[in-house]
Amino acid sequence: MAGPDANGGGEAPGRGVRRRVAVTGMGLVTPVGIGVEAAWKAILAGQSGAGPITLVDATNFAVRFACEVKGFSPTAWMDAHEAHREDRFAHFAMASARMALEDSGFDRSLWDPWRCGCVFASGIGGIRAMEEQYTRFLQRGPARVSPFTIPYLMINAAGGNIAIAHGLRGVNYGPVSACSSAAHALGLALRHIQWGEADLMVAGGAEAAISALGMCGFASMKALSTRNDAPERASRPFDKDRDGFVMGEGGGALVLESLEHAQRRGARILAEFLGYATTDDAHHITAPEPTGDGGARCMEMALADAGLAPGQVDYINAHGTSTLYNDRVETLCVKRALGEEAAARVSVSSTKGQTGHTLGAAGAIEAAFACLALRDQVAPPTINHETDDPDCDLDIVPNQARRRPIRHALSNSLGFGGHNVTLAFGRWEG
């Protein structure tokens, strides 16, 4: 076992010492591209990942389009035997985590495995496998249900399989908070490093809910856009004519490590992870609290945790789902948290216009985009903006990416259940 003097190891600080945390690796599996640079290039170009559903027969569905991940083969990231024992959401988790670890230059022989962990989330987990196995049960009887049914379904299968694959023997669990799940995973991983409980964490989320139950359930609650004739124009965050979100799928992972250790081993630092906060609206299981108080307080707390003043925020990757109430309330949140003057200067975009809403993966995918905005000094666009909404009067970077100085960025996630999460990142210039 590697000791405290190893490349990545270290003595845990005292409880009163809060360590700085670096982002040193990222991995993305998205509807607009597999791999960080492919996805980011598509985002900056304003490409939409929406199209007719191919993963399930949607002929009789009210909504027949989604943002699917195209060209993904799980055996490119794990052997066929392993892939057979995992649901599609876990495939996305495994692929994005492997990308992120390789991107970070992780060498397991140089780290104490007991101080390397994983917090990996999903909002729904193995819903596709659940449907398949229940159908098998009904058609072929109890004896034909797969012995892997429960591992298929478990949300913690993502983190557990990542740990097995990479020898991460430290803290490991999978938070569940709907659309805020992956953001919670990142914030919790941040804390484990800040307070010396781990030196390296793989954190993120994955979702694969483009299935019969997933699509029909969200459609029945009137959450989805019904623009079946124009899928690529359906997700339109902050646009006056928005009519719901577009279902997406994918996975995102970030490698976090103590800044001291990252510098000592000469790691490439993508951004500094400055702060995190979470609140709950305590209002309604699916609708946001109308005044935006919960989301605003969350943003304020994240700024305080990061040691930032409102005027220091240059870019926000908004939750921005393209639903009527979410986008209106999030606009209120930004204004209340930053103040009218700072809110008027900040660039706020929603990349869900391109990826769709990836649910429990969204917080990680969008945190990666926030870090890339810091790296490249460019705010990604909010596509499909055609008509201004006076209730969403922020600078939403309409339709075209914009180069601008970005020192600090926030990423918001606002989930069903009233769960609010804000993550704060800083540009690394060391």
DSSP-derived secondary structure for 320-335: --S-HHHHHHHHHHHH
22-264 with 275-426: one CATH topology? yes
The Cα diameter of the chain in Å comes to 65
Instruction: With a cut of 50, say whether residue 2 has pLDDT above it.
Output: no
Q: Where are the domains of the chain?
A: 22-264, 275-426
Q: How confident is the model at residue 430 (pLDDT cuts 50, 70, 90)?
A: confident
Angstrom distance (rounded) from CA 337 to CA 300: 5
Q: Under 8 Å CB-to-CB from 2, ≥6 apart: which residues?
A: 8, 9, 109, 110, 111, 112, 113
Instruction: With a cut of 80, say whether residue 115 has pLDDT above it.
Output: yes
User: Which amino acid is present at 347?
Assistant: S
Q: How confident is the model at residue 9 (pLDDT cuts 50, 70, 90)?
A: very low
Burial class (CB in 10 A: 0-12, 13-18, 19+), 233: middle
pTM: 0.96
- The encoded tokens of residue 383 equal 């596509």
Q: How confident is the model at residue 272 (pLDDT cuts 50, 70, 90)?
A: very high
Instruction: With a cut of 90, say whether residue 390 has pLDDT above it.
Output: yes
Of the candidates 95, 92, 246, the residue with the CA atom closest to the CA atom of residue 155: 92
Q: What is the mean pLDDT of residues 302-313?
A: 98
**Whole-number average pLDDT of the chain:** 95
- CB atoms closer than 10 angstroms to residue 73: 10
User: Which amino acid is present at 227?
Assistant: R
Angstrom distance (rounded) from CA 152 to CA 196: 33
Which position has the higher pLDDT, 75 or 3? 75
Instruction: With a cut of 90, say whether residue 321 has pLDDT above it.
Output: yes
- The encoded tokens of residue 125 equal 């987990």
pLDDT digits over 326-375, tens only?
A: 999 999 999 999 999 999 999 999 999 999 999 999 999 999 999 999 99
Q: For domain 22-264, give the CATH number.
A: 3.40.47.10
Angstrom distance (rounded) from CA 23 to CA 16: 22
Cα within 13 Å of Cα(105), Cβ side: 14
pLDDT digits over 173-194, tens only?
A: 999 999 999 999 999 999 999 9
- The encoded tokens of residue 172 equal 């490991």
Q: Under 8 Å CB-to-CB from 166, ≥6 apart: which residues?
A: 97, 98, 101, 106, 108, 116, 202
Cα Rg for the chain, rounded, in angstroms? 20
Cα within 13 Å of Cα(139), Cβ side: 6
Q: DSSP string of 140-209?
A: H-GGGS-TTHHHHH-TTHHHHHHHHHHT--S-EE----GGGHHHHHHHHHHHHHHTTS-SEEEEEEEE--
Find where tokens 């390296």 sit: 200
Instruction: Assign domain 275-426 one CATH number from 3.40.50.11540, 3.30.465.10, 3.40.47.10, 2.20.25.240.
Output: 3.40.47.10
Instruction: With a cut of 90, say whether residue 253 has pLDDT above it.
Output: yes
Angstrom distance (rounded) from CA 305 to CA 150: 38
Q: How confident is the model at residue 16 (pLDDT cuts 50, 70, 90)?
A: low
Q: What is the mean pLDDT of residues 75-85?
A: 94
Instruction: With a cut of 70, say whether residue 5 has pLDDT above it.
Output: no
Angstrom distance (rounded) from CA 25 to CA 16: 27
Find where tokens 């970005």 sit: 406
How big is the chain, counted in residues?
430
How far, in whole angstroms, is CA 222 from its chain's centroid? 23
* Catalytic center residues: 179, 319, 357
Instruction: With a cut of 60, say whether residue 11 has pLDDT above it.
Output: no
Q: What is the pLDDT of residue 51?
A: 98
CB 205 within 8 A of CB 362: yes
User: Which amino acid is present at 317?
Assistant: N
3-class SS at 120?
A: strand
Q: What is the pLDDT of residue 6?
A: 41
Angstrom distance (rounded) from CA 137 to CA 119: 33
Angstrom distance (rounded) from CA 18 to CA 13: 8
Q: pLDDT exceeding 70 applies to what percent of the chain?
A: 96
